[in-house]
Structure 1
Amino acid sequence: MNGIDLIRVLAVVAVTVSLILGIFLFTVSTRHKLGNVLLAAFILINGLDLSMLFLGQWLQQYPGALVLLITVSLLNNPVFYLYARSACDSDFRLRLVHLWHAVPFILINVELIPRFYLVEHGEKLDMLESYASIPELGWMIVIGNLQFVYYITAIFLVLKKYRKLYRENYADPAIITYRWLFQLVLVDTVAHSIVLAKDLLKLGNWGSWSNSLQLLVGINAVFILCWFVFKALYNPDLFRGVSFHLEPLRRQAVTAIDEQTQEKIDLLKTYMLEREPFLDPALTIQQLARQLKIPMKELSVLINLHLGQHFFDFVNGYRVRKAMELLRDDQQRERTVQEIFYEVGFNSKSSFNTAFKKLTNLTPRQYRNSAEAVD
C-alpha cells in the first residue's frame, strides 16, 4: 500500500468515526443538548474536510459542490468557540447575533458566485487545476488562520472566567469541563499547525512534503476522534457549566471585621463542623447559602473576601481535616485511603492528594504512617 492509499484509508476511518460520533451526539437524549449539537457540528465539519482526501477526485465532477464544501471549513473555528461557550456557560443560548460568526463563510461564497459558481462547467474544471486561478481559496487560508488565533484566544478567556467562577461557587474538585476543553484546545492547536504547514507547502508546490504531512493529518485525525470517543465513554458529564450571569468577586483590601460579620463567620464555621455539608461532593455555594438561610452573594463575600479563600479551597479544607481525623482513628485502620477520600467528599485520588498535601505537606499515606508511628 503506497502513501496515497494509506492516507485515503485513514481518512475513511476518521470520517466514519466522525459520522458515528456526530450522529450519536445529535440524537442522544441529554439536558446538554445545545453543547452536544455544537460538538457534533464541529466533528462533522472536520469530517467533511477530511472526506476531501478520498472524495476530492470524484467531487471534481461537481466543482461547485466541491468548492462549497472546501469553504465550510471557515465555520470550524466559530463552531468550536460556540461549543466552548455552551459547555462553560449554563445560560448560553444561540441567538441571531451569533450569525456574525458565519460572515467570512458567507462573504467568500458571495464573492465566488459570479467568479466561479455561475461560470460554465468546463471553466470551473480549468480553474480547479490551480489554486492560483481561484484566489479566494488562497484567502481562505489567511482568513482561517486569523480566525484560529482570534477564536483560540477567545476560548482561553472563556476558560479563564469559567475557572474563576467555578472556584468561587463550586466545591467539586474535578473540574472536568475545564480540563476537557483545555486539552481539546491544545490538541486542536497541534492539528491546526500541521494542516497549516500542509497548506503552505501545497501552495508553494512542495508536493512530496505536502503529501507526507497529509498522511500525518490522517493519522492525527483518527487518533483525535478515537480520543473523543474514549473521553465520552469515561466522562459522560463533560458539560457542567456555570452561570456567566455570576460575576467574579473583585479582590479588595478588607478592613477590620465588624461584630455582625464576625457572628456570621462563626455561624458558618460552626455549621461546617457540626452539619458537615462538605461531605456532598457536588456542594455549591448556592446550596450552602440556602442551608444557612443567607443570601448567596453575602456568603460569597464572607468566604472569598473576609476568609480570603475561594469556596473551592474553603470546602476542601474541611474535607481534608475530616480525612485527617479518619486517618488518625485506630478504628479506621482497615479502611483504604480511597474509601476515606470518597467518604469526605472528594471524587478523585489526584485531587484529594493535591488538596491534602497543600494543607499538610504530606501525602495521605505518609500522614497515616506518621500517625501510626506516634501511636
Structure 2
Amino acid sequence: MLEPIRTLAASWLFAGAVVAFIWAATGLLKNGRKAVLSAYFVAACGVWLISGYCRLGTNLSPYDFFSLLPVPVIYSIGPAIYLWVRDNLTTAEGSGYYHLAWSVVGAGLALSLFLRGPNAAESPELLWIIYFGAKSITMGYLLAILSRMFWLTDVEVRDRYTGLILLCSVALLALFAGLIGSIPGWQILRLVSALTLPGIVIGGFLFGLIHPDLIHSLKEDYQIRYARSRISHLDLDSIETRLDRLMDEERPYLDEDFNLAALSAELDMTPHQVSEMLNSRLGCSFPDFVNGYRIRAALQMLREERDRSILSIGLAVGFNSRSSFHRSFKKHTGKTPRSYREEIMTGSS
C-alpha cells in the first residue's frame, strides 16, 4: 500500500478509536453503573480499532504480543452487544454472561500462537483462524440481535429507526466483507471492512447525540409489541370483568402480602400477562392498580371512622407502613391523609 494512503487509513482507524473511547467514557459519566455493559462494548470496538491502527500505522507484526493482546477483548464484542440488547431492549430472563466465554476461546488461541515464539510466523493458519473467528462470532451475534429486533422493520415503527437499521446493515456488510477478505485473493475486502468500522462507530456516536431518547423509545415500542403478542389470544373483556369482581367482592388487596403472583394465580394467567394487561387496558402498573383500591378503601374509612387513627386505617387497607400509606395517598389524591381528614372534619362542623 502506498505510504500516504497507509498513513491516511491508519489515522482514520485511530480517529474511530478515539471516538469510541470518548463515547464509552461519556456514557459512564452520564449513566453510571447502568452503562457499564454498553460502555464496555463501545470501548472494545475502540480496542479493535487501535489494534488495526498499530498493525497499519506502525507495521507491528500480527504475531507480536501487543497484536495478540486485544484478541480476547475483540472476541467479547459480539456477546457484549447481544447481552446489552437482551438486558435493555427485550424481556429475557436469567443471566446470559456465559456468552462472554468466547473471550476465553480468543485468549486460548492467542496464547497458543504467542507461545510458538519465533516459530509463530510458520503458523499463518492459526492467525487466520483467530481473526476469522472474531469476525464470525461478532457477525453471528449481530444476526441473533437482528432476529430479535426484526420488528423494527414493521411499517408503524420503521420510519423512527431508519438510521439505526441502516447502521446495523452497514455493520453486517462490513463484517461479511471482512470474512470474504480472509480468503486468499480477496484481501482488499478485509481492508474495506476495517476502514468501515470507524465510520460505524462515529455514525453511532452522532446518531446517539441526535436521538438521545432512542433507547427509551426502543424499549417502549418493544414492550408495547411484546404485550400485544403475549395477551392477544386472551379474552381480555372477560378477564377484566373477573378482575373487577375479585377486587370488589373478595378484596384481596387488604392483605399486605397480596402481590402480582397471587393475582396471576387468581386469574389463571402468568405474571407477565397480568402486568401487560394492566398496562395496555388500564394504563397502570400492578402496584398502582392495587394501591388505588387501597386508597379508595382508606378514603371511605377516613370518612366513616373518624376516631380511628390514620396509621390504623393505613394498615387495615393493606399498607405495611405509615410512609408507604402517606406516599401512595398523596400520589392518588394530591393530599395527605391528615389534611383529607381535616377537610372532612371542617366540612361537617
Residue aligned with 2:182, SS: helix
Distance 1:196 1:67, change over 3 A: same
Aligned equivalent of 1:109, options 107, 110, 119: 107
1:127 corresponding residue in structure 2: 120
Contact 2:44 2:77 in 1 (8 A): yes
**1:189: Cα distance to partner?**
0.3
1:288 aligns with 2:290: no
Residue aligned with 2:230, SS: coil
- Between the aligned partners of 2:17 and 2:238, the Cα distance in structure 1 is 61
Q: Choose between structure 1 and 2: higher helix proportion.
A: 2
- Between the aligned partners of 2:26 and 2:153, the Cα distance in structure 1 is 29
1:188 aligns with 2:181: no
Larger Cα Rg: Structure 1 or Structure 2? 2
Residue aligned with 1:236, SS: coil
How many pairs were matched up?
249
Distance 1:59 1:105, change over 3 A: same
Distance 1:259 1:112, change over 3 A: closer
Residue aligned with 1:28, SS: helix
Aligned equivalent of 1:249, options 230, 234, 237: 230
- Between the aligned partners of 1:6 and 1:76, the Cα distance in structure 2 is 26
Contact 2:20 2:43 in 1 (8 A): no
1:140-155 pair list within 5 angstroms: 140-148=130-138, 150-155=140-145
- Between the aligned partners of 2:239 and 2:34, the Cα distance in structure 1 is 44
Contact 1:11 1:54 in 2 (8 A): no
Contact 1:14 1:222 in 2 (8 A): yes
Aligned equivalent of 1:14, options 6, 13, 16: 16
Residue aligned with 2:181, SS: helix
Distance 1:224 1:184, change over 3 A: same
Percent sequence identity over matched residues? 14
Contact 2:72 2:107 in 1 (8 A): yes
**1:29: Cα distance to partner?**
3.3
AA of the residue aligned to 2:65: G
Cα RMSD of the aligned pairs, angstroms, is 4.6
Distance 1:179 1:10, change over 3 A: same
1:24 aligns with 2:26: yes
1:231 corresponding residue in structure 2: 207
- Between the aligned partners of 2:240 and 2:215, the Cα distance in structure 1 is 41
Contact 2:38 2:81 in 1 (8 A): no
Contact 2:16 2:49 in 1 (8 A): yes
- Between the aligned partners of 2:237 and 2:93, the Cα distance in structure 1 is 39
Contact 2:128 2:182 in 1 (8 A): no
- Between the aligned partners of 1:20 and 1:258, the Cα distance in structure 2 is 51
**1:39: Cα distance to partner?**
4.5
Contact 2:10 2:56 in 1 (8 A): yes
Contact 1:25 1:40 in 2 (8 A): no
- Between the aligned partners of 1:198 and 1:46, the Cα distance in structure 2 is 17
AA of the residue aligned to 2:283: L
- Between the aligned partners of 1:92 and 1:189, the Cα distance in structure 2 is 27
- Between the aligned partners of 1:144 and 1:285, the Cα distance in structure 2 is 42
State TM-score, norm by structure 2. 0.54
Contact 1:22 1:43 in 2 (8 A): no
**1:17: Cα distance to partner?**
2.0
Q: What do the CA deviations read for 1:17-76 (whole angstroms, capped 9, x no partner)?
A: 22222222232236852454245345334434433444552467x822321224532222
AA of the residue aligned to 1:138: W
**1:9: Cα distance to partner?**
2.2
Distance 1:117 1:199, change over 3 A: same
Any unmatched runs of 5+ in structure 2?
246-278, 291-349
Aligned equivalent of 1:33, options 32, 35, 44: 35
Residue aligned with 1:2, SS: helix
- Between the aligned partners of 1:224 and 1:30, the Cα distance in structure 2 is 24
**1:290: Cα distance to partner?**
6.1
AA of the residue aligned to 2:125: P
Contact 1:75 1:102 in 2 (8 A): yes
1:197-208 pair list within 5 angstroms: 197-200=180-183, 204=184, 206=185
- Between the aligned partners of 1:40 and 1:174, the Cα distance in structure 2 is 25
1:139 corresponding residue in structure 2: 129
1:206-355 pair list within 5 angstroms: 206=185, 210=187, 212-213=188-189, 216-217=192-193, 219-240=195-216, 241=219, 248-249=229-230, 251-252=232-233, 285=280, 288-289=283-284
Distance 1:180 1:79, change over 3 A: farther
Higher RCO (Cα < 8 Å, 6 or more apart): 1
